């Protein structure tokens, strides 16, 4: 037993210094329950970002979607979803509320809603950037053409979140209808990076049929893509989707993946997701203590929050944005971290002075 533990610790150290492992070694760390993994991951995060946690204001501006991902409550065929769209004025109002609360990034997220043409979205992005020039705008509106991504970038969008969902093509096909492809999704991510966006990929943990081998494919895909951000959260079933009877993802494995990613790419921006907080009341804190450094409180108007239901029991308080942000700040301070009032861009570690050597790092 002691030998096994020593082995795992040695592998974690190896990951910290080499930023990669063999498939068999990754599999061993994925399954481990040694908190030494989290300790090393926190330490790696501290070396690049200190004890700062970046806050992004999430504006869920439409829940219309033309797609039919089998896992998602917003899928077009879910006739029970109560659909809504926010106007440009409503979106700007969310930013107006968020700015004095310290938000310096606004994330516009929604289904693939054809109503938001390039003209409409570009106009919204450029108005936000004109009103809040010191803020970053992140888009998360799914797959679009190269020209569309370029147009939105020129309008001022800084970042784009597009989870690749699974890097394994066969697994991708079991989660999506034929109209969608893993190839196209990955191509979108490469296009976004080429255009100049800070790019975020990611995947759900515990989607039906997912094996450790699939997760290792995801880790290698992330290694190859070298994104700026990676969003990893547990899959949670939604009762009005084909996956209604499936089991939710595992919290411990999700935390292990956050920690592995932190050690693989120490400058990565990694959110402690709402899905993690939905499955475990301490999920956000646990995520940060496993190496995450981003939180995304909801800035959407209170009356639409209960309609943006990707999965059942989504953690969604009726708090106004101010209370929500204050609550989040307190929770983060209680575990020894500080919310930074800054855009929170990805730090280029090639030009960064790295803090103490592993031996000198004393995480919380
Ligand atoms: N439509 C855009 C897209 O798909 O990229 C952005 C919005 S989509 C709702 C954002 C993410 O929610 C997806 O990438 C997916 O990983 C996640 N999601 C959807 N359904 C989920 C579920 N049942 N459990 C956990 N996460 C889910
Ligand atoms: Fe639409 Fe995104 Fe949900 Fe898929 S995950 S159904 S693209 S909102």
Whether 356 has a pLDDT exceeding 70, the answer reads no
Domain that holds residue 167: 51-342
In a domain? residue 29: no
Q: How many residues does the chain have?
A: 364
User: In this predicted structure, which of 104-113, 327-336, 349-358 has the lowest mean pLDDT?
Assistant: 349-358
Cα-to-centroid distance, 110 and ligand 2 (Å): 8
Element (H, E) at 30: helix 23-30
Decide: 12 and 29 in contact? Cβ < 8 Å: yes
Query: In which band, very low, low, confident or very high, does the pLDDT at 260 lie, cut at 50, 70 and 90?
Result: very high
In a domain? residue 30: no
**pLDDT (0 to 100) of residue 148:** 98
**pLDDT (0 to 100) of residue 348:** 87
**pLDDT (0 to 100) of residue 351:** 60
Domains of the chain: total: 1
Pocket flag, ligand 1, residue 112 (CB < 6 Å):
yes
Average pLDDT over residues 254-260: 98
In a domain? residue 249: yes
Closest to 266 measured CA to CA, from 52, 32, 41: 41
Q: Which of 61, 179, 204 has most ligand 1 atoms within 8 Å of CB, for mutation?
A: 204
What angle do the packed helices 2-18 and 23-30 form, to 10 degrees?
120
Query: In which band, very low, low, confident or very high, does the pLDDT at 315 lie, cut at 50, 70 and 90?
Result: confident
Pocket flag, ligand 1, residue 140 (CB < 6 Å):
yes
In a domain? residue 83: yes
Whether 277 has a pLDDT exceeding 90, the answer reads yes
Q: Which of 172, 240, 310, 314 has most ligand 1 atoms within 8 Å of CB, for mutation?
A: 310
In a domain? residue 3: no
**pLDDT (0 to 100) of residue 361:** 61
Closest to 342 measured CA to CA, from 125, 107, 54: 54
Decide: 293 and 45 in contact? Cβ < 8 Å: yes
Q: Which of 138, 159, 163 has most ligand 1 atoms within 8 Å of CB, for mutation?
A: 163
In a domain? residue 44: no
- Give the sheet arrangement for strand 198-205, strand by strand: 57-62, 105-110, 136-140, 159-161, 198-205, 229-234
Please, which residues have CB within 8 angstroms of residue 312's CB and are 6 or more apart in sequence? 73, 236, 237, 238, 239
pLDDT digits (tens, 9 = 90+) for 242-251: 999 999 999 9
pLDDT digits (tens, 9 = 90+) for 19-50: 999 999 999 999 999 999 999 999 999 999 99
Specify the ligand 1 atom closest to the Cα of 231: 16
In whole numbers, what is the pLDDT of the chain averaged over residues? 94
pLDDT digits (tens, 9 = 90+) for 52-86: 999 999 999 999 999 999 999 999 999 999 999 99
**SS3 call for 55:** strand
Please state whether the predicted TM-score (pTM) of the whole model is above 0.85.
Answer: yes
What CATH number does the domain containing 170 carry? 3.20.20.70
| CA gap 172, 226 in Å, rounded | 21
What angle do the packed helices 88-98 and 118-131 form, to 10 degrees?
30
Cα-to-centroid distance, 76 and ligand 2 (Å): 9
In a domain? residue 135: yes
**SS3 call for 313:** coil
Closest to 25 measured CA to CA, from 35, 15, 33: 15
**SS3 call for 45:** helix
The ligand placed nearest to the CA atom of residue 308 is 1
Cα-to-centroid distance, 319 and ligand 2 (Å): 26
End-to-end C-alpha distance for the chain, whole angstroms = 27
Give the number of C-alpha atoms closer than 13 A to the C-alpha of residue 363, restricted to the C-beta side. Answer: 21
Pocket flag, ligand 2, residue 309 (CB < 6 Å):
no
pLDDT digits (tens, 9 = 90+) for 155-194: 999 999 999 999 999 999 999 999 999 999 999 999 999 9
- Give the sheet arrangement for strand 294-295, strand by strand: 294-295, 52-55, 338-340
Decide: 33 and 82 in contact? Cβ < 8 Å: no
Average pLDDT over residues 211-232: 98
Whether 364 has a pLDDT exceeding 60, the answer reads no
Whether 338 has a pLDDT exceeding 50, the answer reads yes
Pocket flag, ligand 2, residue 69 (CB < 6 Å):
yes
In a domain? residue 12: no
Pocket flag, ligand 2, residue 176 (CB < 6 Å):
no
Specify the ligand 1 atom closest to the Cα of 163: 14
Q: How far is CA 293 from CA 48, 95, 157, 258, in A?
A: 11, 22, 22, 10
Cα-to-centroid distance, 60 and ligand 2 (Å): 12
Query: In which band, very low, low, confident or very high, does the pLDDT at 357 lie, cut at 50, 70 and 90?
Result: very low
Cα-to-centroid distance, 49 and ligand 2 (Å): 32
**Cα Rg for the chain, rounded, in angstroms?**
19
Sign, CA torsion 276/279/282/286: negative
| CA gap 111, 309 in Å, rounded | 11
């Amino acid at each position: 037993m002691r030998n096994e533990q020593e082995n795992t610790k040695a592998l974690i150290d190896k990951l910290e210094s080499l930023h990669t492992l063999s498939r068999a070694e990754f599999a061993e760390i994925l399954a481990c329950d040694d908190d030494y993994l989290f300790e090393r991951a926190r330490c790696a995060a501290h070396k690049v970002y200190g004890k700062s946690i970046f806050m992004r204001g999430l504006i869920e501006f439409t829940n219309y979607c033309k797609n039919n991902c089998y896992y998602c409550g917003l899928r077009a065929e879910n006739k029970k979803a109560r659909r809504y769209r926010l106007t440009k004025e409503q979106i700007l109002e969310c930013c107006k509320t968020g700015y004095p609360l310290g938000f310096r990034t606004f994330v516009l997220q929604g289904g693939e809603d054809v109503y938001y043409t390039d003209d409409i979205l570009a106009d919204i992005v450029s108005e936000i950037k004109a009103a809040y020039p010191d803020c970053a705008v992140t888009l998360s509106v799914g797959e679009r053409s190269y020209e569309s991504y370029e147009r939105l970038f020129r309008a001022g969008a800084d970042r784009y979140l597009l989870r690749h969902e699974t890097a394994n093509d066969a697994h991708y096909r079991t989660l999506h209808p034929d109209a969608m492809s893993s190839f196209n999704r990955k191509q979108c991510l490469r296009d976004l990076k080429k255009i100049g966006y800070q790019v975020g990929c990611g995947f759900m943990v515990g989607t039906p049929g997912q094996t450790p081998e699939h997760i290792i494919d995801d880790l290698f895909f992330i290694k190859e893509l070298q994104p700026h951000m990676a969003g990893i959260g547990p899959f949670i079933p939604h009762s009005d989707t084909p996956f209604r009877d499936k089991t939710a993802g595992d919290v411990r494995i999700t935390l292990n993946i956050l920690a592995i990613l932190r050690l693989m790419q120490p400058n990565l921006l990694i959110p402690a997701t709402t899905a993690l907080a939905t499955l475990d009341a301490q999920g956000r804190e646990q995520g940060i203590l496993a190496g995450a450094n981003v939180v995304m409180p909801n800035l959407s108007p209170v009356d639409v929050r209960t309609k943006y239901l990707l999965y059942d029991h989504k953690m969604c308080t009726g708090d106004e944005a101010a209370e929500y942000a204050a609550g989040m700040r307190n929770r983060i301070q209680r575990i020894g971290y500080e919310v930074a009032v800054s855009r929170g861009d990805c730090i280029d570690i090639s030009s960064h002075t790295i803090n103490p050597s592993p031996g000198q790092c004393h995480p919380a």
